[in-house]
Structure 1
Amino acid sequence: MTEGVPDADGIPSKRSLRPLGGVLAAMAVSLTGTRISAVALPWFVLVTTGSATQTGLVAFCEMAPYVVVKAFTGPLVDRIGPRAVSWTTDLASATAAAAVPLFHALDLLSFPLLLALVALIGAVRGPGDLAKEVMVPEAAERGRVPLERATGLSGVTERLASTVGPAAGGSLVALLGPLTGLVVNGGCFALGSVIIALALPRGMGQAVEEGSSQSGETKPGYWRRFGEGFTFLRGEPLLLTVIVMVGITNLLDAAFTTVLMPVWARESGNGPTAIGLTGSMMGATAVGGSLIAAVAAHRLPRRAVFFTGFLLAGAPRFLILASHAPLGAVLTVFAISGFGSGFLNPVLGAILFERVPRRMLGRVNALGDSLAWAGIPLGGLIAGTAVASAGLVPVLLASGTAYFLTTNLTGLRPEWREMSRPGGRGARKRHAEEDASPNSADVTT
Structure 2
Amino acid sequence: MDGAGSADEPEAERRTVRPLHGVLAAMAVSLSGTAISAVALPWFVLATTGSAARTGLVAFCEMTPYVVVKLFSGPLVDRTGPRTVSWTTDLVSALAAAAVPLLHALDLLSFPVLLVLVALIGAARGPGDLAKEVMIPEAAERDRIPLERAAGLSGVIERLAATVGPAAGGSLVALFGPLTSLAVNAGCFVLGSLIIAVTLPRGMGYTAEAAQPPDGEGGLGEAGYWRRFGEALAFLRGEPLLLTIVVMIGVTNLLDAGFSTVLIPVWARQSGNGPAAIGLLGGVTGAAAVGGSLVAAVYAHRLRRRAVFFAGFLLAGAPRFLVLAADAPMGVVLAVFAVSGFGAGFLGPVLGAVLYERIPRRLLGRVNAVGDSVARAGVPLGGLLAGTAVTAAGLVPVLLAAGAAYFVTTNLAGLRREWRELDRAGRVAGRKPNQRAHQGR
Normalised by the length of structure 1, the TM-score is 0.91
After superposition, give the CA deviation of every residue in 1:344-403 in whole Å (9 maximum; x if it has no partner): 011001111100011100100000000000000000010001000100000000000000
2:120 is matched with which residue? 120
Q: How does 1:248-327 map to 2 (within 5 A)?
A: 248-327=251-330
Contact kept in structure 1, 2:83 and 2:202, CA below 8 Å: no
1:179 is matched with which residue? 179
Deviation at 1:280, TM superposition (A): 0.2
Deviation at 1:305, TM superposition (A): 0.2
2:21 is matched with which residue? 21
Q: Which runs of 5+ in 2 are unaligned?
A: none
* Structure 2: distance between partners of 1:432 and 1:401: 37
2:192 is matched with which residue? 192
Higher alpha-carbon deviation: 237-246 or 416-425: 416-425
AA at the equivalent of 2:313 = F
Q: How does 1:1-400 map to 2 (within 5 A)?
A: 18-210=18-210, 218-220=217-219, 221-400=224-403
Cα distance change of structure 1 residues 6 and 108 upon mapping to structure 2, 3 Å threshold: closer
Deviation at 1:203, TM superposition (A): 2.1
AA at the equivalent of 2:418 = E
* Structure 1: distance between partners of 2:438 and 2:248: 32
* Structure 2: distance between partners of 1:204 and 1:138: 8
**Secondary structure of 1:209's aligned partner:** helix
* Structure 1: distance between partners of 2:91 and 2:166: 22
**Secondary structure of 2:414's aligned partner:** helix
Identity level (%): 73
AA at the equivalent of 1:233 = L
Contact kept in structure 1, 2:137 and 2:433, CA below 8 Å: no
AA at the equivalent of 1:144 = R
* Structure 2: distance between partners of 1:199 and 1:212: 26
AA at the equivalent of 2:24 = L
Q: How does 1:433-444 map to 2 (within 5 A)?
A: none
Deviation at 1:422, TM superposition (A): 1.9
AA at the equivalent of 1:179 = L
* Structure 2: distance between partners of 1:359 and 1:91: 26
AA at the equivalent of 2:297 = A
Deviation at 1:423, TM superposition (A): 8.0
1:401 is matched with which residue? 404
AA at the equivalent of 1:347 = V
* Structure 2: distance between partners of 1:76 and 1:391: 44
Cα distance change of structure 1 residues 428 and 144 upon mapping to structure 2, 3 Å threshold: closer
Cα distance change of structure 1 residues 416 and 104 upon mapping to structure 2, 3 Å threshold: same
* Structure 1: distance between partners of 2:206 and 2:406: 39
After superposition, give the CA deviation of every residue in 1:277-331 in whole Å (9 maximum; x if it has no partner): 0000000000000001111111110000000000000000000000000111100
Contact kept in structure 2, 1:355 and 1:424, CA below 8 Å: no
Contact kept in structure 1, 2:78 and 2:210, CA below 8 Å: no
**Secondary structure of 1:412's aligned partner:** coil
Cα distance change of structure 1 residues 13 and 165 upon mapping to structure 2, 3 Å threshold: closer
Contact kept in structure 2, 1:36 and 1:181, CA below 8 Å: yes
Contact kept in structure 2, 1:148 and 1:347, CA below 8 Å: yes
* Structure 1: distance between partners of 2:251 and 2:435: 32
* Structure 2: distance between partners of 1:429 and 1:162: 28
**Secondary structure of 2:209's aligned partner:** coil
* Structure 2: distance between partners of 1:402 and 1:94: 36
**Secondary structure of 1:422's aligned partner:** helix
After superposition, give the CA deviation of every residue in 1:103-154 in whole Å (9 maximum; x if it has no partner): 0000000000000000000000000000000000000011111111000000
* Structure 1: distance between partners of 2:287 and 2:350: 19
**Secondary structure of 2:204's aligned partner:** coil
1:418 and 2:413 correspond: no
Deviation at 1:431, TM superposition (A): 2.4
Cα distance change of structure 1 residues 106 and 25 upon mapping to structure 2, 3 Å threshold: same
Deviation at 1:11, TM superposition (A): 13
After superposition, give the CA deviation of every residue in 1:247-270 in whole Å (9 maximum; x if it has no partner): 000000000000000000000000
Contact kept in structure 1, 2:305 and 2:426, CA below 8 Å: no
AA at the equivalent of 1:146 = P
* Structure 1: distance between partners of 2:114 and 2:216: 47
Deviation at 1:204, TM superposition (A): 1.3
* Structure 1: distance between partners of 2:402 and 2:267: 14
Cα distance change of structure 1 residues 424 and 109 upon mapping to structure 2, 3 Å threshold: farther
Contact kept in structure 2, 1:78 and 1:208, CA below 8 Å: no
Contact kept in structure 2, 1:6 and 1:12, CA below 8 Å: no
Contact kept in structure 1, 2:217 and 2:227, CA below 8 Å: no
* Structure 2: distance between partners of 1:273 and 1:217: 57
1:431 is matched with which residue? 435
